[in-house]
Chain A
Amino acid sequence: MAEPTESRRPPLRLPQDCSIAAIRGVYDLIRDAFSRQDSLEIDCSSVAKADVTSIQLLLSTAKTGQARGRQVVLTAFSQSLRNTLRRAGFTSEAMAGHPFNEKKDGEQWPPS
């Protein structure tokens, strides 16, 4: 597996469709970015379609980042993604905050 070569890159913007229909593409996108970057900032502002698979992918990304000592930051949660998270029960900060690093500026997980 290729070692990460760059530490700073623009945020990875998730596509509009992060539902099961397109999740494999999103997965490839994240894995690709993960293999090339030391830290990963994921911009969730464009996500218009989300479901259980989107949440799981984000959780897995955060978990992998934690395990590898690589920073994973999720920012700018779209309303759609927030709604999906709430529906899945990620409502309390304590619960939602565990898997992710927080970003000090801008919107961040957990949603306010």
Chain B
Amino acid sequence: MSSIDPTEVFRQEAAELFETLEGALLDLCQRPDDRELVDSAFRALHTIKGSGAMFGFDKVAAFTHEFETAFELVRKGEIKPTQALISVALAAKDYIRALIEAPESTDSIIGDAILDDLKQFVALPGTAAEPGQSAPMPQAPAARPAAHAGWRLYLEFDSHILCNGSNPLDLLDDLCKLGSCFAVPVIDGIPMLEELEPDHCYLKWDVTLHSDCGRAAIDDVFMFVQDEMKLTLAPLATQAEAAAPEVALQIEPLEAATVAEVAPAVEAAPARATEAAAKAPAAAEQRRDEPKRNEGIATVRVQAERLDELMDRVGELVIAQARLTQLAAAGSDLSIKMIAEEIERLAASLRDTTMGARMVPIGSLFGRFRRLVHDLSRDLAKPVEFVTSGEDTELDKTMIECLADPLVHLIRNAIDHGIEDSPRRAAAGKTENGRIELTAVHSGAQVLVTVKDNGGGLNTARIRAKAEEQGLIAPGATLSDHEIHQFLFHPGFSTAPTISALSGRGVGMDVVKRTIENMRGTIDLATRPGQGTTVTLRLPLTLAIIEGLLIRVGGGRYIIPLSAVEECVELMPEHQRSRGRNFLNVRGNLVPFLKLRELLQVPGSPELHQKTIIISTGESRVGLVADQIIGNHQTVIKSLSKLHSDVTIFSGAAILGDGTAALILDVAQLVAAAQAQSEKQIYEAA
């Protein structure tokens, strides 16, 4: 017997009604004269009120009643649904939703403030619609241009925008320079003290700008932060003219609210405007059908967990498909082989589509640092050139969001501590402009994100002295430079002599380390005195299925990410007999090679005809000698357990078609390990 909680039923029903209400309100921004939309919003409100009272949500019923009363005037045609009114109505809707979903976190004072705002709007003189009057906006001052009264803006910034050095108040100041500007802060997002992150941005703004400026002038104001905010923009004078081409210039609030990345929508607006203008004459007839038609093309928000689940299923499908392919290959039935090939193609296509759904180009993250570098460069009087590459490198969206804070700290550090001021650069014979390079590149099953500066490099002696001063190491203890540099990631460790707005508390690098480790990534730090520092974040590709090259070494099978493979060549007997450092002559170029049998300590004698897989690791090429190259393999990466976290030369494992496992080689780590081993041998021999 099922025991359905009636309040849960109400919540689900209310969720659908909120969608209807929000959709209607947002559509009203575009078509304030559409009676059907007003009725639709009113019906939703009325149902929420009635159901709320029935299921014991008294606060919901009471508040919605007040809301409904105010909206009744809109329904009667006594006032027009202006943008500002709709903004308050949307806030009211959010408040009702909060009352239903998380009543303990709501504050009645917010509800009171919203209702007061609603009442102010409905009481505004001049908002009453006069018969035959088409202009829907509140009374316009006489000085306002008649043809184009200005703009209505809604500004909502990403929470981290303040940490990136952007200041919304400066942007509001800039808007004020364009004309008479009236900004109304929206405070409903301010959390309670316990939940407050003091440096996050919670305030939003409703702005009315009376100006004859063009849209481009407004876009210019937000040029540097457009990736980090939601901007809803609508001309004041043209709201009622739903079929007019100017209306098409509006960024539809519905889209702005549902599409995660708004900036592309802003950029795409002119194109949509042209398209919409062409369709304008037919728009009036089609209005009622639009909501239904739009349902087919709307962006759908999907919980990340569902995409994880989908990816897991695809992974299992790929493994099952590999088994099928293997069985088909062993048999002689041509039709089975054809079906196996077809399924292989479909599985590969499904894999790519599923992965693509979660992946976004890292360029969306890189863009936001331009403003940071620009501002820091100005504040610190250090001219800095900011260069990015690899913006197309795709990474899981969640990982991109997590990467923002670490990169802010790294870039801040690079400019504040790394790049020297102009006199010191001149004295060192360097160019006046410092340079920060932010790059991203796929490396096998990982993405490497690098922050490189051409500053003075780390002062190892000072780091050591500070570590001794803080009692982290005993004076005179023997430590390598690498070990000393690791103190930079120690909580509270800073070599900065003073605490400034940018640095000095020793928190930044600690945050970087913790965040990257939480993402199962690692940090490499390389520095050269006088030449600069390179910080490389090595991040795993979560959910990844990669194309791999399946090889055999002894009795074990291994996978090399195909993206790292350049070519395969046969290892000649004379190479196998060589001593010391091993080199292959590949079309006149000497390429060092590593024998996987030795590295992986595989017992027994090697095959007579061994193969060398030439891989590229960053700027260098290295050969890996294996017994056999089996072929391409779609590899579903399975993470190794925590017990194997210290085994760095493998980035994961994969299940093969016959059910056995193959380890995935982390080629960069493998080469580094071999190099370290070789250096150790040379040291011991000496």
Contacts and interface: CB of A to CB of B under 8 A. Distances in A.
Interface of A: 19-21, 23-24, 26-27, 30-31, 34, 51-53, 55-57, 59-61, 63-64, 66-67, 84, 87-90, 94-95, 98-99
B173 interface: yes
Contacts of A24: 198-199
A89 B205 contact: yes
Contact of B193 (A51, A52, A60): A60
A52 B198 contact: no
Contact of A89 (B184, B201, B202): B184
A40 B500 CA distance: 30
Nearest to A31: B193
A88 B207 CA distance: 11
A27 B112 contact: no
A27 B199 CA distance: 10
Interface of B: 107, 109-110, 112-113, 116, 120, 162-163, 167-169, 172-173, 182-185, 187, 190-194, 196, 198-199, 201-203, 205, 500-501
Contact of A88 (B163, B196, B198, B203): B203
Contact of B501 (A20, A63, A88, A89): A20
**A-B pairs with the 3 shortest C-beta distances?**
A21-B501, A89-B183, A27-B198
A52 B167 contact: yes
Contacts of B187: 59, 98-99
Contacts of A55: 203
A26 B198 contact: yes
B193 A98 contact: no
B184 A53 contact: no
A88 B155 CA distance: 12
B192 A88 contact: no
A67 B184 contact: no
Given A26-B198, A94-B116, A95-B184, A52 B162 contact: yes
A84 to B, nearest CB: 7
Contacts of A99: 109, 113, 187
Contacts of A59: 187, 190
Contacts of A53: 162, 198-199
Contacts of A31: 193
A76 to B, nearest CB: 21
Nearest to A67: B107
Contacts of B203: 52, 55-56, 88
Given A21-B500, A88-B185, A56 B169 contact: no
Most-contacted residue by chain A among B107, B192, B193, B500 (CB, 10 A): B193
Given A90-B185, A95-B184, A95-B185, A57 B196 contact: yes
A26 B199 CA distance: 11
Nearest to A17: B501
Contacts of B112: 98
A53 B196 CA distance: 10
A60 B169 contact: no
Contacts of B199: 20, 23-24, 53
A63 B107 contact: yes
Nearest to A19: B501
Contacts of B201: 52, 56
A84 B185 CA distance: 12
A98 B501 CA distance: 32
Given A20-B501, A26-B198, A55-B203, 14 more contacts: A23-B198, A24-B198, A34-B193, A51-B169, A52-B167, A52-B169, A56-B201, A56-B203, A60-B191, A63-B190, A64-B193, A66-B109, A87-B173, A88-B172
A50 B527 CA distance: 38
A23 B505 CA distance: 13
A56 B501 contact: no
Nearest to A83: B169
Given A52-B169, A94-B120, A60 B190 contact: yes
B422 to A, nearest CB: 24
A95 B191 CA distance: 18
A64 B110 CA distance: 12
A69 to B, nearest CB: 12
Contacts of A27: 193, 196, 198
B162 A64 contact: no
A88 B190 contact: no
B80 to A, nearest CB: 22
A89 B555 CA distance: 72
A17 B141 CA distance: 40
Contacts of B196: 27, 56-57, 60
Nearest to B201: A52
A94 to B, nearest CB: 7
12 contacts: A19-B501, A56-B196, A56-B201, A56-B202, A59-B190, A61-B193, A63-B192, A67-B107, A88-B203, A89-B185, A95-B185, A98-B112
Contacts of A23: 198-199
B172 A20 contact: no
A89 B109 contact: no
A90 B112 CA distance: 17
Nearest to B176: A87
A87 B113 CA distance: 20
A42 to B, nearest CB: 13
Nearest to B199: A20
A64 B194 CA distance: 9
A71 B212 CA distance: 46
A51 B169 CA distance: 8
Contacts of B173: 87
A43 B183 CA distance: 27
B613 to A, nearest CB: 51
A94 B112 CA distance: 11
A96 B191 CA distance: 17
A88 B193 contact: no
A30 B194 CA distance: 11
B192 A89 contact: no
Contacts of A87: 169, 172-173
Contacts of A57: 196, 198
A51 B201 CA distance: 11
Nearest to B105: A67
Contacts of A88: 168-169, 172, 183, 185, 203, 205
A56 B168 CA distance: 13
A34 B194 CA distance: 11
Q: Which of A27, A88, A89 has the most CB of B within 10 A?
A: A89
A12 to B, nearest CB: 13
Contacts of A95: 184-185
Given A53-B198, A64-B193, A20 B116 contact: no
Contacts of A20: 162-163, 198-199, 501
